[in-house]
């Protein structure tokens, strides 16, 4: 789902903290029989140097209430399926972990349908300012030629936000950072993932155990719109450091997506630009983690007439 302890600016840290508080409430509300939503914990981030370990120790001291603790390099967890970058130990976050993004999307769609929220499967071509009077301050033109008058609009279409905002004379730049990930099947090595964390972050790589002989490995960071297969192979062989069990594995699924990274400013972009004009984009690598705090921020910026959005 994410990683609470990346170094980040103060505002993003606050959003992370708030999201971590809200996620248990969200999972309770989104969980259904058809789409079971569960956060699998914990998450371990291994340190890459003594310096990084020292910073992690400081964080544990400063943020006692976050459920963080230091794990040592003789971590029993990683002993069976050996991991090459475990030289210093690292940090364990007991509340952080993995949430299946596909199930999450299905569950959110189910909720939208239940709440009878109108969904229009068209893209927005342009936005126009209409009047300063509340009620129909904004107009949007869609790809099917339709036009809709609205009181408020939330521009939350990641990289698509830039061109829509430009038409309104706002220049908020983002760059695409492509990410590739894969699902791997291990040839039987007679071990399983028992004692492994739900997410292992090491050397910039996220490893997520799935079933006994399957895992997800991700993700590349490519400033590009097209995936580079060499970088996917580099990820799989850990730049030449992969242990045998990983080298022998087979890619059974692979996918990629574009992350919107704000240029010359920290992620994410959350701004109320004018009455009824809100932008929530540029979440870069943490859009899922930050979804609850982002939604709460948006809810506070627009008038829901006291209605709850769940
Ligand atoms: C491989 C990979 C791994 C990731 N792992 C994590 C992780 O572990 N944790 C985490 O928190 N985040 C992770 N992320 C990042 C996360 O996916 C993003 O931060 C998040 O998806 C951003 O959400 P969003 O809704 O702002 O944008 P998006 O998910 O990019 O959605 C934007 C949507 O807007 C639509 N759109 C664009 N233009 C228009 C238009 N003009 N009109 C209508 N619709 C439009 C697009 O079609 C798209 O559907 C990962 C990303 C990748 C690629």
Quick check: bond before 268 cis, omega within 30?
A: yes
Q: Is residue 308 scored above 60 in pLDDT?
A: no
Q: Is residue 111 scored above 60 in pLDDT?
A: yes
Tell me, what's the pLDDT at 79? Answer: 65
Give mean pLDDT, residues 255-275. 96
Tell me, what's the pLDDT at 75? Answer: 72
Average pLDDT, the chain: 91
Q: Which residue among 288, 289, 298 has the greatest number of ligand 1 atoms within 8 angstroms of its CB, and so is best to mutate?
A: 288
Ligand 1 pocket residue status of 286, Cβ below 6 Å:
yes
Q: Is residue 15 scored above 80 in pLDDT?
A: yes
Q: What is the number of alpha carbons within 13 Å of residue 15 lying toward its C-beta?
A: 28
Structure tokens given for 48: 């890459």
Q: Which residues does 283 contact at the CB level (< 8 Å), separation at least 6? A: 158, 259, 260, 267, 268, 290, 294
Which residue in this structure is represented by tokens 């590009």?
224
pTM: 0.92
Cβ-in-10-Å burial (0-12, 13-18, 19+) of 118 comes to: exposed
Dump pLDDT digits (tens) for 159-207. 999 999 999 999 999 999 999 999 999 997 778 888 889 999 999 999 9
Select, from the ranges 4-8, 194-198, 280-284, 302-306, the one with the highest average predicted confidence (pLDDT): 280-284
Give mean pLDDT, residues 12-29. 93
From the list 302, 241, 295, 308, the residue with the least C-alpha distance to 275 is 302
Give mean pLDDT, residues 137-162. 96
From the list 250, 221, 207, the residue with the least C-alpha distance to 85 is 207
Tell me, what's the pLDDT at 220? Answer: 97
Q: Is residue 241 scored above 60 in pLDDT?
A: yes
Structure tokens given for 236: 């799989």
Tell me, what's the pLDDT at 212? Answer: 86
Architecture of the domain defined by 43-94+175-262: 2-Layer Sandwich (3.30)
Ligand 1 pocket residue status of 218, Cβ below 6 Å:
yes
Dump pLDDT digits (tens) for 27-67. 999 998 888 999 999 999 999 999 999 999 999 998 878 89
Distance 287 CA to ligand 1 centre (A): 7
From the list 183, 175, 170, the residue with the least C-alpha distance to 211 is 183
Round to whole Å and give the CA distance between 154 and 302: 9
Of all protein residues, the one whose alpha carbon is nearest to atom 16 of ligand 1 is 287
Round to whole Å and give the CA distance between 44 and 67: 12
Helices (H), 140-274: 161-166, 229-236, 244-247
| pLDDT bracket for residue 305 (50, 70, 90) | low
Ligand 1 pocket residue status of 153, Cβ below 6 Å:
no
Tell me, what's the pLDDT at 237? Answer: 94
Ligand 1 pocket residue status of 160, Cβ below 6 Å:
yes
Q: Is residue 303 scored above 90 in pLDDT?
A: no
Q: Is residue 3 scored above 60 in pLDDT?
A: no
Ligand 1 pocket residue status of 197, Cβ below 6 Å:
no
From the list 213, 211, 207, the residue with the least C-alpha distance to 185 is 213
> Which atom of ligand 1 is nearest to 122's Cα?
43
Ligand 1 pocket residue status of 257, Cβ below 6 Å:
yes
> Which atom of ligand 1 is nearest to 157's Cα?
34
Distance 81 CA to ligand 1 centre (A): 32
Q: Is residue 227 scored above 60 in pLDDT?
A: yes
Give mean pLDDT, residues 222-232. 97
Q: In degrees rounded to 5, what are phi and psi of residue 277?
A: -125, 105
Ligand 1 pocket residue status of 281, Cβ below 6 Å:
yes
Tell me, what's the pLDDT at 307? Answer: 53
């Amino acid at each position: 789902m994410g990683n609470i302890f990346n170094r980040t600016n103060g505002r993003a840290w606050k959003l992370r903290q708030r999201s971590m508080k809200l996620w248990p409430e969200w999972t309770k509300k989104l969980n259904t029989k058809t789409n079971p939503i569960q956060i699998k914990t914990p998450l371990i981030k291994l340190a890459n140097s003594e310096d990084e370990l020292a910073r992690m120790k400081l964080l544990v001291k400063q943020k006692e209430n976050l459920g963080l603790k230091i794990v040592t390099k003789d971590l029993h967890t990683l002993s069976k399926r050996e991991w090459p970058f475990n030289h210093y130990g690292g940090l364990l976050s007991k509340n952080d972990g993995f949430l299946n993004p596909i199930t999450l999307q299905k569950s959110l769609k189910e909720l939208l349908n239940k709440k009878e929220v109108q969904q229009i499967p068209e893209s927005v071509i342009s936005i126009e300012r209409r009047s300063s009077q509340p009620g129909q301050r904004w107009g949007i033109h869609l790809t099917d030629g339709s036009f809709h008058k609205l009181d408020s609009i939330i521009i939350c279409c990641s990289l698509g936000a830039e061109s829509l905002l430009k038409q309104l004379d706002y220049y908020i730049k983002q760059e695409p950072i492509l990410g590739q990930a894969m699902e791997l099947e291990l040839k039987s090595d007679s071990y399983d993932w028992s004692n492994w964390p739900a997410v292992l972050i090491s050397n910039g790589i996220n490893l997520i155990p799935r079933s006994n002989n399957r895992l997800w490995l991700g993700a590349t960071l490519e400033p590009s719109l097209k995936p580079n297969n060499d970088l996917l192979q580099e990820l799989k062989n850990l730049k030449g450091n992969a242990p045998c069990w990983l080298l022998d594995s087979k890619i059974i699924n692979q996918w990629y997506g574009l992350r919107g990274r704000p240029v010359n400013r920290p992620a994410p972009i959350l701004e109320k630009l004018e009455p009824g004009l809100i932008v929530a984009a540029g979440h870069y690598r943490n859009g899922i983690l930050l979804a609850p705090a982002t939604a709460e921020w948006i809810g506070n910026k627009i008038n829901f007439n006291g209605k709850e959005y769940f």
